[in-house]
Amino acid sequence: MSSATESPVPRTYRVRTYGCQMNVHDSERLSGLLEDAGYTAAADGGDADVVVLNTCAVRENADNRLYGNLGHLRPVKDARPGMQIAVGGCLAQKDRGEIVRRAPWVDVVFGTHNVGSLPALLERARHNAEAQVEIVESLEVFPSTLPAKRDSAYSGWVSISVGCNNTCTFCIVPSLRGSEKDRRPGEILAEVQALVDQGVLEVTLLGQNVNAYGVEFRDRGAFADLLRATGRIEGLERVRFTSPHPREFTDDVIAAMAETPVVCHQLHMPLQSGSDDVLRRMRRGYRQERYLGIIDRVRAAMPDAAITTDIIVGFPGETEADFQQTLDVVRQARFASAFTFQYSKRPGTPAAEMADQLPKDVVQERYLRLTALQDEISWSENRAQIGRRVELLVAAGEGSKDAATGRLSGRARDGRLVHFRAEAAEGIRPGDVVETVVTDAKPHFLVADGALLSHRRTRAGDASAAGTRPTTPGVSLGMPRIGVPDPLPALTGGC
């Protein structure tokens, strides 16, 4: 017989994530909040007492996907008394009470600005036996001051800003994430230091418009300073950032990338279109000449840089001549890879109301021409890597051993995916570091079938093997800007 004082079994949770890197990081915060509140992660393949859907409003048919998933969850909930369903993220911010109207079995709806309210909303919904909808209009607490349970033992996202001050006509993000809010440099560096103390080797600095960082405290050089300061944290081996905007991209950032050894020579620079006319209608704030000038200066400072991009095909009013200009820029820029999208209307954006919406078949045909060209360039750029010595951070998921080929996978410092032969090397774990030589190339990855030149076991690899993930408590130190004497130098890499 159970003891009357026996602790109750913790409720379990599962978070499902859709959309961008910001949503991935928000989901890490949601997991951290739930675990702080006493929940435990549900076992793989098992049912959960709480299912959280962290939604995206940017992708096409995002609402259909949400309601389809909610429909699948309804019979699961009917069969599990006490189960709760929560919906958060950008689509929740946009649709608000509509979600509960269309799916009355949902227990909680929360927006992008009140991630930290989830545990309390779940408890209130259970106590009151009715749905709780809470959508905050603006950010009250910077979300990275919340705890996070990280997905990776060796790599971590660190938010430096949220929101966006741009007004791109195809984008709904500013209305859902709000205007840009910058985190203080000392708080960012403290979080990076906490991750490194747990064995993390690589961090990605994250923001909707990451190189505009500092606008809130009026320091145009803040992002370059932050890159240099992050690079001084002992034990950190790789720094990446995403995503910058060409309008605010400045030469001091290029210099910081080139001069800071741990900052990876990888740059994701969204193009969206190569036509000045289309860029004007998109309200992107730059033109073809400025964009290509940035690419030239990056390559002059870092000849080995891998540059990737985003491109939208079929924006309203795009002519064949406009599209040819996009192809011309792709040929000149020679991107390592590109995320290519067919334009589709997003309700609530100015572009959705523009005249000259293109027929689907025209957009599709242009899209196929663009992807064929980019695949050809990617393959050519990858073939140029054959014979190159690469340092790889062994990846989880991607790093699972392929029984047929005997290969593991890892990411080179420039972000390229490399499948490498690992038969002769015992005990390689995600988070370890290996060196090898590229022997073959495909359009979307490299192959290294020779012997490993080195294998370095890491604390991150130990954590991966043990199945543990780093967790970070909320960090809110209120430190001053970079360059001002800091009361906690050990947490800020000497700043």
176-180 average pLDDT score: 77
- Max mean pLDDT range (93-107, 165-179, 288-302, 402-416): 288-302
pLDDT of residue 492: 26
pLDDT of residue 179: 79
Q: Is 168 annotated as a binding residue?
A: yes
Residue 345 confidence (pLDDT) above 80 = yes
Q: Is 171 annotated as a binding residue?
A: yes
pLDDT of residue 140: 63
What confidence tier does 258 reach under pLDDT thresholds 50, 70, 90?
Answer: very high
Q: Token match 């946009």: residue?
A: 94
Q: Is 264 annotated as a binding residue?
A: no
Residue that wins the pLDDT comparison between 123 and 64: 123
188-213 average pLDDT score: 92
Residue 476 confidence (pLDDT) above 70 = no
Lowest mean pLDDT among 21-30, 235-244, 352-361: 21-30
Residue that wins the pLDDT comparison between 479 and 205: 205
Per-residue model confidence as pLDDT tens digits over 80-110? 989 999 998 888 888 877 888 999 999 999 8
Residue 99 tokens read as 């979600």
Is the separation of the CB atoms in 200 and 488 below 8 Å?
A: no
Is the separation of the CB atoms in 47 and 85 below 8 Å?
A: no
255-284 average pLDDT score: 97
Residue 494 confidence (pLDDT) above 60 = no
Is the separation of the CB atoms in 159 and 137 below 8 Å?
A: no
Three-point CA angle 466, 401, 19, nearest 5°: 80
Angstrom distance (rounded) from CA 492 to CA 481: 11
Is the separation of the CB atoms in 456 and 433 below 8 Å?
A: yes
Residues whose CB is less than 8 angstroms from the CB of residue 263 and which lie 6 or more positions away in sequence, other chains included: 227, 230, 231, 239, 240, 256, 257
pLDDT of residue 298: 98
Residue 378 tokens read as 């990617």
Lowest mean pLDDT among 10-19, 88-97, 218-227, 483-492: 483-492
Q: Is 20 annotated as a binding residue?
A: yes
The two beta strands, 471-472 and 148-149, are antiparallel
Domains and CATH numbers, the chain: 12-134 (3.40.50.12160), 143-383 (3.80.30.20), 389-468 (2.40.50)
pLDDT of residue 178: 76
Residue that wins the pLDDT comparison between 424 and 26: 26
Is the separation of the CB atoms in 91 and 62 below 8 Å?
A: yes
Residue that wins the pLDDT comparison between 215 and 330: 330
Give Cα 423 to chain centroid, integer Å.
32
What confidence tier does 399 reach under pLDDT thresholds 50, 70, 90?
Answer: very low
Per-residue model confidence as pLDDT tens digits over 9-48? 789 999 988 877 777 878 888 888 898 888 998 888 788 9
Name 17's bridge partners.
Answer: 54
Angstrom distance (rounded) from CA 131 to CA 128: 8
